[in-house]
Structure 1
Amino acid sequence: MGRRRSSTFSIKRRATEGLVFDEFGFAQTKRKDQKLQHRCHDYSYPQLNARRVKELCELLSYWNGSSFICRSQIERFMRMGIPPALRGRVWKCLLNIDKLRESSAFNYQKCLDEIRGPLVDLGVSEYGIISAIATLNDTENDLGSNQLPSRCPPDLAYSSADVTIFRQIALDLQRSFPTHRTLMGESPEAIEGQAKLFRVLIAYAKYNPKIGYSQGMSYIAAVLLMHLSEEEAFWALGVLLEKPKYLSELFDLSGEKIQHQAMVFHQFFKHRKPQLSKHIEDVRVSSIHFVMPWFLTLFTSLPCWDSVLAIWDLIMLHGLSAVFRTGLTIIQLLESRLMNLTDEAAVLPLLLRVPVDVSQHCVLLPALWSTEVQEWEIKCMNSLVLEETEGHHLGIIEKPIPPPLPTKVKEQEKSVDGPKLEAKNSVRKDSSVSSVKNVFTRLVRMAQCYLLDKDCQSGDSKPSPSQGSSARRRSSKASRTTSSITQVG
């Protein structure tokens, strides 16, 4: 796969010259560039002293992922703050990527060699992403109209599905952290960074065709590449997307899994913060509109990168429960502001673009560590969602409560038929109380089942229940939300 430079190389090269990058590699400038202003470069993460760093290195040298002592010790270091230079080693240990690599028959380098054939036939190079997008657009249009490009031989080494995946990955590369030095512009470092990300994502689509490539994966792979080598990042992505403990319930080809998890978080949110949840619903903001962007990119849109990495540390340790925990923490920190807003146009942007004063490490992380989310809670909410969707599927739908009558009508009914109206109100109140009791009873029953099930104590024991066909009916909601996964700088 040869190197190719686009026609805009000199322009983009000049644009990145003169920029200063912060310690995490993000561009900062004095100019009022909105794309660059999104990132905050005033970091507040704690730094370990030399003695603590030595202790952490010793822990990693004799790491045993199945040891409770090792995991509790690494959590203690996370509370104190993982040094950036050691973060890659910590993630490798927590994910145990060597185990997956050794047990798999998949060969990363061999896969890249096999991919070269289709890319050469297409005239595409990962070292020229902009020109690759134009070429892939043309090829996809030609394939759609059954008109093959004249330069292609009749026995093509690629299919229309290959072209679609190549094109989508190339497009998403342009949106993934465009202000990070490894992906910004056309500098040699950025060209190589984009090429690595392109290769990792294409290889994963070949490695796991059941998941393939979907929106959000480019952000996750890009962060992994900031801390791991190319092949290590590939295997780390494999662990994250396949293990039930981590993100296996977020990504699939249809998008049904993330929709289901957004509904689970919605139930969890209603359970933990009922008043705030109702207020957000009243202003016509659905949880799915902000939960999907948060979950699919693992909160990388937060402006303070030291907070993002600390959140990722926790996710590497605790998995999906840490994702729910982070979402709840952010909502709790924004609660007073959200309660004062009564317009959808103000509420949703606040949730999608969390302010700096909330996302600062010194604010967000203490709140995150003090927020408790139990795995059984998430499993209970998952069961509630499955019950509700199954109930709707079977036609068991609760009759909606009619809107209140105008005051004059109420007074007339009271005077004419007061006793009957009081009886109706009493029945309605009793049914409401009964409904609450039923939900509570189900929660208790589910919690008891979870605690009695020893298998549930293992994070990797088995995947959560399949969402089935009911999730397909929610696909229309997702189309509105995927556009919320905006370009993250």
Structure 2
Amino acid sequence: MEVPDFGSDEERVARVDEYGFERPAGNDTEELVSDYQAVLSRRAIKWRKLLQGSRLQRSLKVKRYIRKGIPNEYRSLIWMTVSGAQGQMENNPTYYKKLLEMEEDPKLVESIRTDINRTFPDNVQFRRTTNPSFLQPLFNVLVAYGNHNKTIGYCQGMNFVAGYLLIVTKDEEKSFWLLDSLIKKIVPDFYSPTMIGLKTDQEVLGHLVRLKVPAVAELMEQHSVMWTLVVSRWFICLFIDILPVETVLRIWDCMFYEGSKITFRVALTLIKYHQASILEANNFPAICEKFKQITRGPMVQDCHGFMKKIFTEPGRLPLTVITKLREISGAQLDDQS
């Protein structure tokens, strides 16, 4: 049998990005990446000045800086600070170690082990042959979280979220505290046994689309397409493996600072910007395919341009409106159960 040509070691290395993800051969985004690196270099100078001296405090200036992008060398520090994870870790210095020393829960461990080897097969840092590999730290983070929050334990999708945190922090204890902050404050009840938070936010998106992009809402209703069929992975994995890695990280920058309304801004931007394309669909399968297509292409690859769009394309999106829609959607789901 003919042995496939995987290219030389040098070629393979050249195709791996700074986060460990392998870029496909013939990648045509090199110029875009180069332009973005120039933007990040300018942002890094500004961040360096901002972080000199006193500890980072919430302010309009910090919010503006975060929206414009956090250079990767400062990302872990900023996420830990603005999320409150740093304070939690400092106030509980031995807690993570104690969680790992707890008696093993066989069901928890089995669930995590089942998913571990499926985590980012296209990332060299999540392979057993890599030294050091993120697989053991990822396992530790998920076991610790399962011991910490027994109501949730482990839920599919958490391995990808925790994996991204490890890619950024390179530290399992920091990743644990960021995961705790994210699940507690940003996606509450997404990973609970009933997943009521996930179901509620999908319904909220449906309400927002009726307000902002009514023609698409009408199309969905006409063909009986439930929102959970087209956006559940967007929400449960927070756009991991849906959008390009740098775009996801830019979304998370804002999400850790501004909360879950950022996820609605991203979803609405994708839908509103591609409204004409979505409306070309005339049946159930075509609509589902359109929702896959709108997460690809030049718009989402240009993370800097895309992030500008999420704060303009959907228009105003006050937290009070989202809170009210969550109350309405939650009540509707209760009535259905």
TM-score band by shorter chain is: 0.7 to 0.9
CA contact (8 A) 1:46 1:81 kept: no
Which amino acid is the alignment partner of residue 55 of structure 2? W
Pair 1:30 & 2:21 matched: no
**What is the aligned partner in structure 2 of residue 163 from structure 1?**
106
Q: How far off its partner does 1:51 sit? A: 6.5
Could you list the per-position Cα deviations for residues 125-171 of structure 1 after superposition, in whole angstroms to 9, with x for gaps in the alignment?
xxxxxxxxxxxxxxxxxxxxxxxxxxxxxxxxxxxxx3332222122
Q: How far off its partner does 1:231 sit? A: 0.6
Question: How do 1:359-398 and structure 2 match up within 5 A?
Answer: 359-360=300-301, 361-370=303-312, 371=314, 372-389=316-333, 393=335
Size of the aligned set, in residue pairs, is 321
**What is the aligned partner in structure 2 of residue 97 from structure 1?**
85
Say if 1:176 and 1:338 are closer, same or farther in 2 by CA, change over 3 A. same
**What is the aligned partner in structure 2 of residue 187 from structure 1?**
130
Q: Distance in 2 between matches of 1:262 and 1:290?
A: 10
Which amino acid is the alignment partner of residue 76 of structure 1? R
**What is the aligned partner in structure 2 of residue 221 from structure 1?**
162
**What is the aligned partner in structure 1 of residue 145 from structure 2?**
204
Q: Distance in 2 between matches of 1:81 and 1:373?
A: 21
SS in 2 for 1:27: coil
Q: Distance in 1 between matches of 2:193 and 2:17?
A: 36
Q: How far off its partner does 1:345 sit? A: 1.9
Could you list the per-position Cα deviations for residues 178-235 of structure 1 after superposition, in whole angstroms to 9, with x for gaps in the alignment?
111211462223xx21111011001100011122111211111111101111111111
Pair 1:108 & 2:76 matched: no
Q: Distance in 2 between matches of 1:261 and 1:216?
A: 16
Alignment partner for residue 231 of structure 1, among 173, 177, 195?
173
Q: Distance in 2 between matches of 1:94 and 1:28?
A: 31
CA contact (8 A) 1:48 1:80 kept: no
**What is the aligned partner in structure 1 of residue 3 from structure 2?**
none
Pair 1:321 & 2:266 matched: no
Say if 1:240 and 1:223 are closer, same or farther in 2 by CA, change over 3 A. same
Q: Distance in 2 between matches of 1:58 and 1:299?
A: 31
Q: Distance in 2 between matches of 1:92 and 1:200?
A: 16
Which amino acid is the alignment partner of residue 78 of structure 2? V
**TM-score (norm: length of structure 2):** 0.85
Q: Distance in 2 between matches of 1:111 and 1:362?
A: 39
**What runs of 5+ residues in structure 1 fail to find an aligned partner?**
1-13, 32-36, 119-161, 394-469, 474-489
Say if 1:177 and 1:349 are closer, same or farther in 2 by CA, change over 3 A. farther
**What is the aligned partner in structure 2 of residue 78 from structure 1?**
66
**What is the aligned partner in structure 2 of residue 408 from structure 1?**
none
Q: Distance in 2 between matches of 1:22 and 1:389?
A: 42
Say if 1:355 and 1:51 are closer, same or farther in 2 by CA, change over 3 A. closer
Q: How far off its partner does 1:238 sit? A: 0.9
Q: Distance in 1 between matches of 2:79 and 2:277?
A: 35
Pair 1:345 & 2:274 matched: no
**What is the aligned partner in structure 2 of residue 277 from structure 1?**
217
Say if 1:16 and 1:267 are closer, same or farther in 2 by CA, change over 3 A. farther
Could you list the per-position Cα deviations for residues 90-127 of structure 1 after superposition, in whole angstroms to 9, with x for gaps in the alignment?
11121121221244486212322335xx4xxxxxxxxx
SS in 1 for 2:126: coil
Q: Distance in 1 between matches of 2:40 and 2:106?
A: 50
Q: How far off its partner does 1:29 sit? A: 4.4
Which amino acid is the alignment partner of residue 25 of structure 1? G
Say if 1:188 and 1:262 are closer, same or farther in 2 by CA, change over 3 A. same
Q: How far off its partner does 1:298 sit? A: 0.6
Q: Distance in 2 between matches of 1:179 and 1:40?
A: 18
Say if 1:282 and 1:174 are closer, same or farther in 2 by CA, change over 3 A. farther
Q: How far off its partner does 1:52 sit? A: 4.6
Which amino acid is the alignment partner of residue 178 of structure 2? A
**What runs of 5+ residues in structure 2 fail to find an aligned partner?**
1-5
Q: Distance in 1 between matches of 2:40 and 2:202?
A: 40
Say if 1:332 and 1:187 are closer, same or farther in 2 by CA, change over 3 A. same
Which amino acid is the alignment partner of residue 181 of structure 2? V
SS in 2 for 1:53: helix
Alignment partner for residue 36 of structure 2, among 27, 41, 45?
45
**TM-score (norm: length of structure 1):** 0.60
RMSD of equivalent CA atoms = 2.7
Say if 1:221 and 1:214 are closer, same or farther in 2 by CA, change over 3 A. same
Q: Distance in 2 between matches of 1:247 and 1:374?
A: 18
Say if 1:16 and 1:324 are closer, same or farther in 2 by CA, change over 3 A. farther
Could you list the per-position Cα deviations for residues 269-322 of structure 1 after superposition, in whole angstroms to 9, with x for gaps in the alignment?
222222111112323321111222111111112342221111111111111111
Could you list the per-position Cα deviations for residues 8-46 of structure 1 after superposition, in whole angstroms to 9, with x for gaps in the alignment?
xxxxxx999662312332113439xxxxx8x97753636
Say if 1:262 and 1:29 are closer, same or farther in 2 by CA, change over 3 A. closer
Q: Distance in 2 between matches of 1:16 and 1:259?
A: 47
Could you list the per-position Cα deviations for residues 234-258 of structure 1 after superposition, in whole angstroms to 9, with x for gaps in the alignment?
1111111112xx1124221232221
Say if 1:261 and 1:49 are closer, same or farther in 2 by CA, change over 3 A. closer
Identity, in percent, stands at 23
Name the larger-Rg structure: 1
**What is the aligned partner in structure 1 of residue 51 from structure 2?**
60
Question: How do 1:120-139 and structure 2 match up within 5 A?
Answer: none
**What is the aligned partner in structure 2 of residue 247 from structure 1?**
187
CA contact (8 A) 1:19 1:29 kept: no
